[in-house]
Amino acid sequence: MLDIKFIRENLDIVKAAAVKKKIKVDLDRLVALDDSRRALMTSIESKKAEQNRVSDEIAKASEASVREPLIASMQSVKAAVQAEEEQLKPVLEEWKALMLQVPNIPDMTVPDGESDADNVEVRAWGEQTKFPFVAKDHIELMLAHKMVDFERGAKVHGFRGYYMLGDGAKLMWAIWNYANDFFGARDFVQMLPPTIVRKQNLYGTGHLPNDADDVFRTQDDDYLIGTSEVSGMGFYSDEVLDKSELPVKFLAFSPCYRREAGSHSKDVKGLIRVHEFYKVEQIVLCEASHEESVKWHEEITKNTEDFMQSLGIPYRVVLNCGADIGQGQVKKYDIEAWVPKEEKYRETHSASYFHDFQTRRFNIRYKDTDGTVRYAHSLNNTAVAAPRILVSLVENLQQADGSIKIPDVLIPYFGKSKIG
């Protein structure tokens, strides 16, 4: 969330950000509502101050002839306060709703664009895998080795359901355990966060109200997280840290749930787009400095690149265009893994920084060395998401005989060097 003072003083910049991010929000209406909000609050505060002043006079008055006129005058003031408070309620409600729609300001390096097709490749690693034999896709490979069962998954869960079985389940455990050691060695604190959260946590990260159709909700009006960023960021909500505690670096692992609303016809087969999956997430809180945010953004992106390189999976990094970054993000990289059968890169990781957009909503602050209390900056990046990572892993490492080679770094966790 942006500060309303910043919005008012930089209205043209905020309007340009909304255009760049393809977000529709009536900023002129927001400013008009803010004028009404300010005027009503000033009037209410003034009348309440008058009430307090006259109340003191009433308390001091010893004669009824003095008290009674004062009491009568205060009754009319009290009625005026109540009337203005009633006027303020709908103004505040609409004001808050519009404030939640205002986008963060993208970094000047973020390119213009209409969709993810306009994202810009920054770098690529590894050769795009080609085979001297007819390659199989991940579905055929994993079914052949009884690593997954889609039919029974659909029977039990419905559309996009799946069971991970045998070597498929073991391979996911191997990846999680390896990721835990890999990122843990880079001084991340491991976290197993709640997966059912209160609504305000999704407003905090910016997933609500914009992504409401893609979130699973319980009958108690709680929500299932689509990323452990949500509950991870909630950890320090309404708290003031000391600057010496920064940076905070969490490695959060959790099941994740997404309805995939609007994607009914996309990737209907296989493990690319499913309703429930597991994700290891890097979450960072740092001091309120653009330079610090940029530094950590590059570092957590490099962490994931190093992880992908250790698995031997070819990938590329793209800089997301304005239309393909979220409401709260200042800048975002996607890491896309090479999928041989499709002969294309598919997104497997995202790395973003937000400045204080999320921490204002969560009220996460820290006390600077001079005693000043500031909002921290936040960042997050996928360490690894499974089962999606298996798509590129098994396809790139398939062999001519139909077996699947296991990356060297996973063998100690998986217990053998190949499947099949």
Instruction: Catalogue the active-site residues.
Output: 258, 273, 347, 350, 388
Burial (CB count within 10 angstroms: exposed 0-12, middle 13-18, buried 19+), residue 408: exposed
Determine which helix (DSSP H) or strand (DSSP E) holds 29, and give its type and residue range: helix 27-60
The one-letter amino acid at 335: I
Residue 7 contacts residue 65 (beta carbons within 8 Å): no
**DSSP state, residue 212:** G
Q: CB under 8 Å to 84, separation ≥6 — which residues?
A: 40, 43, 44, 47
CA atoms within 13 A on the CB side of 123: 5
Determine which helix (DSSP H) or strand (DSSP E) holds 287, and give its type and residue range: none
Name the token pair of 25.
Answer: 């929000």
Q: Please calculate the CA angle 176-179-185 and round it to the nearest 5 degrees.
A: 145
Sequence-ordered strand ranges (E) for 44-108: none
Q: Are strands 377-386 and 373-375 parallel, antiparallel or unpaired?
A: unpaired
